[in-house]
């Protein structure tokens, strides 16, 4: 195992925290971004995916807790598009543009009620559907929604067999248009102990193109991040349980159901050792490698489940997304928005 340190001129992390926290998010209009963290190289195979001179750039900071990044391609945009991400505690989706910084994109993002709804009421995972519309996993309103182009939101699903979801967390889309999503209790004000909880399990669900909701599995204690392999034959699901910090791989059947799971990788020892973050959001690249946020950073796994390395900001990283031309990995890392240049491309960016 080899850890490649960044140059010593990089400001100390605490100094960076103070600098970014002192600036409003909207003021992050520089293109000379500070850099943090390290690239931990567990295998020489990582060199083909992350350049030796790659650095982790901090694009903006001062947020409460960031999640759900998604790149929105836009042909007319000077940089080919822009980044959206959830700030769950403030119930907003924010937009970051290169050279401009951060602005509020959507508020409220996940809770439209009138009473206090705990610490994490907003949207969590975000993605684009086949029409390029924003799909949100909403904590407070306990649903998946789609933002229509000429009006407000439509509810895609908010219950299973008449019982409300716990708090939809993250989602991914099959090539046929079906939505697969996870439903842990983190968005409920009292989480698992909340009296508003109606389901006695944390499920992985599918919303079919016609709107039917199917429970795919309830075998995981805290299903969280979710992603398909590039050929859609495998569904990866992260479990954010510190007592069993694992990623599972499920074969996807022709009818969209899931076959028998296997443990793809077990990071429980890393979690119990106190490394920051849990098994959370993830994305695959075109070669089938999995870039998965977990204890200690973004883990990079081969398709066979071999750990190749980690991108480490030394903060909890909740999720990641491919952007620009598909070679840039954006990361929501606690109070920061970060990115790193790779030499691969995200699945679907061919």
Output the pLDDT for position 30. 61
Phi, psi (rounded to 5 degrees) for 111? -145, 125
pLDDT digits (tens, 9 = 90+) for 41-100: 999 999 999 999 999 999 999 999 999 999 999 988 888 899 999 999 999 999 999 999
Q: What is the DSSP string of 206-241?
A: EE-TTS-EEEEE---SSEEEEEE-TTSSEEEEEE--
Output the pLDDT for position 8. 34
- Secondary structure of residue 122 in the 3-state scheme: coil
Output the pLDDT for position 15. 47
Phi, psi (rounded to 5 degrees) for 193? -85, 5
- Is 2-341 assigned to CATH 2.40.50.140? no
pLDDT digits (tens, 9 = 90+) for 251-310: 999 999 999 999 999 999 999 999 999 999 999 999 999 999 999 999 999 999 999 999
Output the pLDDT for position 76. 86
How far apart CA 55 and CA 183 sit, in angstroms, is: 34
How far apart CA 207 and CA 212 sit, in angstroms, is: 6
Of the ranges 4-13, 116-125, 218-227, which one carries the lowest mean pLDDT score? 4-13
* Residue in 340, 336, 330 with CA at minimum distance from that of residue 314: 336
How far apart CA 340 and CA 329 sit, in angstroms, is: 5
How far apart CA 232 and CA 241 sit, in angstroms, is: 26
- pTM for this prediction: 0.91
Output the pLDDT for position 31. 63
**Alpha helices by DSSP H, the chain:** 13-22, 268-272
* Residue in 28, 30, 32 with CA at minimum distance from that of residue 102: 28
pLDDT band, very low/low/confident/very high, at 16 (cuts 50, 70, 90): low
pLDDT digits (tens, 9 = 90+) for 304-327: 999 999 999 999 999 999 999 999
């Amino acid at each position: 195992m080899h850890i490649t340190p960044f140059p010593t001129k990089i400001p100390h992390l605490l100094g960076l925290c103070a600098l970014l926290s002192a600036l409003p998010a909207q003021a992050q209009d520089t293109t000379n971004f500070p850099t943090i963290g390290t690239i931990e190289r567990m295998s020489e195979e990582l060199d083909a995916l992350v350049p030796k001179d790659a650095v982790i750039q901090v694009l903006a900071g001062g947020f409460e807790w960031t999640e759900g990044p998604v790149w929105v391609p836009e042909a007319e945009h000077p940089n080919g598009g822009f980044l959206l991400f959830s700030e769950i505690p403030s119930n907003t989706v924010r937009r970051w543009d290169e050279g401009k910084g951060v602005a509020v994109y959507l508020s409220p993002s996940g809770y439209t009620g009138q009473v206090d709804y705990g610490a994490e009421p907003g949207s969590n995972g975000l993605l684009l559907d086949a029409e390029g519309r924003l799909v949100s996993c909403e904590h407070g309103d306990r649903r998946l929604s789609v933002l229509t182009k000429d009006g407000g939101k439509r509810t895609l699903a908010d219950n299973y067999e008449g019982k409300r979801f716990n708090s939809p967390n993250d989602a991914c889309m099959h090539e046929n248009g079906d939505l697969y999503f996870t439903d842990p209790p983190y968005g409920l004000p009292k989480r698992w102990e909340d009296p508003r909880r109606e389901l006695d399990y944390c499920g992985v669900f599918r919303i079919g193109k016609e709107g039917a909701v199917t429970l795919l599995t309830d075998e995981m204690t805290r299903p969280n991040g979710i992603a398909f392999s590039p050929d859609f034959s495998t569904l990866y699901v992260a479990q954010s349980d510190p007592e069993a910090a694992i990623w599972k791989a499920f074969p996807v059947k022709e009818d969209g159901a899931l076959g028998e799971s296997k443990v793809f990788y077990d990071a429980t020892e890393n979690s119990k050792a106190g490394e920051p973050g849990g098994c959370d959001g993830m994305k695959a690249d075109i070669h089938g490698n999995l870039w998965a946020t977990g204890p200690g950073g973004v883990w990079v796994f081969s398709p066979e489940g071999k750990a190749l390395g980690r991108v480490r900001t030394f903060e909890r990283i909740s999720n990641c997304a491919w952007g620009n031309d598909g070679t840039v990995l954006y990361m929501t890392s606690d109070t920061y928005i970060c990115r790193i240049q790779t030499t691969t491309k995200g699945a679907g960016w061919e």
